[in-house]
């Protein structure tokens, strides 16, 4: 409990384009710079699910091997623009040895602006014999 891990990522155009291909989400706000320039955002915005996925590296560093993700909830607060640098931070806020589960707070922050672009929670399960405290 209280353990924290942070990883940083560059949300570059290649990652956004690859995510568009993998997810089949080709909304022009994500993949068309000319279209995105005509929107209130003024430039390309990364997929929210791509950005949310960046927490997994930090979470895995705390729970692997042995932890299995059971649930995620998150809220997107602000757009993450292509070529942004983000920090993904996870913090263990609760452990329950009885159920073998640990609860984590999640946050992704745009490094340049200091804006929290996403926050949420994750629950990770461990084998009942594994220690979660």
- Evaluate whether 119 touches 106 at the Cβ level (below 8 Å): yes
Averaged pLDDT for residues 80-92: 97
Q: What are 63-69's contacts with CB under 8 Å, separation 24+?
A: 63/102, 63/124, 63/126, 66/126, 66/127, 66/130, 67/102, 67/124, 67/125, 67/126, 68/124, 68/125, 68/126, 69/122, 69/123, 69/124
- What is the structure's pLDDT at 127? 85
∠ CA 75-81-84 to the nearest 5 degrees? Answer: 100
- What is the structure's pLDDT at 1? 84
The residues spanned by each domain of the chain are 4-125
pLDDT tens by residue, 37-58: 999 999 999 999 999 999 999 9
Averaged pLDDT for residues 73-97: 97
Q: Which CATH number describes the domain made up of 4-125?
A: 3.10.129.10
């Amino acid at each position: 409990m209280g353990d924290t891990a942070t990883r940083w990522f560059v949300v570059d155009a290649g990652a956004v384009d690859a995510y568009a291909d993998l997810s089949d989400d080709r909304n022009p706000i994500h993949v068309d710079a000319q279209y995105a320039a005509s929107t209130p955002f003024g430039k390309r915005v990364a997929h929210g699910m791509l950005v949310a996925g960046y927490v997994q590296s930090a979470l895995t560093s705390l729970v692997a091997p042995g932890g299995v993700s059971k649930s995620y909830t998150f809220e997107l607060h602000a757009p993450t623009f292509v070529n942004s640098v983000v920090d993904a931070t996870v913090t263990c806020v609760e452990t329950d040895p009885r159920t073998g589960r640990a609860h984590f707070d999640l946050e992704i922050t745009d490094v340049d602006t200091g804006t929290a672009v996403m926050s949420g929670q994750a629950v990770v399960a461990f084998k009942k014999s594994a220690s979660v405290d």
